[in-house]
């Protein structure tokens, strides 16, 4: 099981909520607090996220995320507009921001992301940060491929990565007709 997200310590304790939603690529676990979405994980894959007993099961905090995910899967949404509360190192956060700039329906290599974040020799570190992305799909780590153009690694498994890329390519092809 994957470790749950940790909220930064602050003077106020924020309630963490979660919801599990079906999707075309399996059950998705959404986790967040009033500051934003902290995790979007595939629950049917090799690394489901543990649900902590202190979390509150509630759909309401995820209304916008669930609606936008539905639109993404039906092909009508190419960019997400959801408040995120991502916890990670400075390097990880830079990588995750770079991932959000990858255009819908396109792929880039780990090396290209490394160049974008100012560390051209850090493609392995980019791969590690990519693998720690807590908000799959919305922070589109599935759009990162190996330097040779092959699909490599994905927390949800390569079949899900393939399905997401095919969905985006299909929608991109339809719009260019």
By annotation, the residues acting in catalysis are: 141
Strand ranges for the chain from DSSP E: 17-21, 28-33, 36-42, 56-57, 108-109, 144-145
Cα 14 from chain centroid (whole Å): 22
Q: C-alpha angle 62/37/18, rounded to 5°?
A: 55
Distance CA 157, CA 153 (A): 7
Distance CA 86, CA 90 (A): 11
**Count of residues making up the chain:** 177
CB–CB of 159/92 below 8 Å? no
Structure tokens at 62: 């995820």
Q: Tally DSSP H helices, then E strands, for the chain.
A: 5, 6
Helix (H, G, I), strand (E, B) or coil at 57: strand
């Amino acid at each position: 099981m994957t470790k749950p997200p940790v909220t930064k310590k602050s003077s106020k304790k924020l309630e963490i909520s979660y919801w599990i939603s079906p999707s075309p690529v399996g059950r998705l676990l959404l986790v967040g607090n009033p500051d934003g979405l902290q995790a979007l994980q595939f629950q049917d894959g090799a690394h489901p996220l543990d649900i902590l007993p202190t979390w509150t099961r509630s759909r309401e905090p995820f209304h916008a995320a669930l609606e936008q995910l539905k639109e993404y899967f039906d092909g009508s949404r190419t960019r997400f507009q959801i408040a995120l509360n991502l916890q990670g190192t400075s390097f990880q956060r830079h990588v995750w921001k770079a991932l959000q700039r990858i255009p819908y329906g396109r792929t880039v290599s780990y090396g290209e992301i490394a160049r974008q974040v100012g560390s051209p020799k850090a493609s392995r570190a980019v791969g590690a940060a990519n693998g720690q992305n807590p908000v799959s799909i919305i922070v589109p780590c599935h759009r990162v491929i190996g330097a040779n153009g092959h699909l490599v690694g994905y927390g949800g498994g390569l079949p899900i990565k393939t399905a997401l890329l095919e969905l985006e390519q299909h929608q991109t092809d339809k719009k260019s007709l």
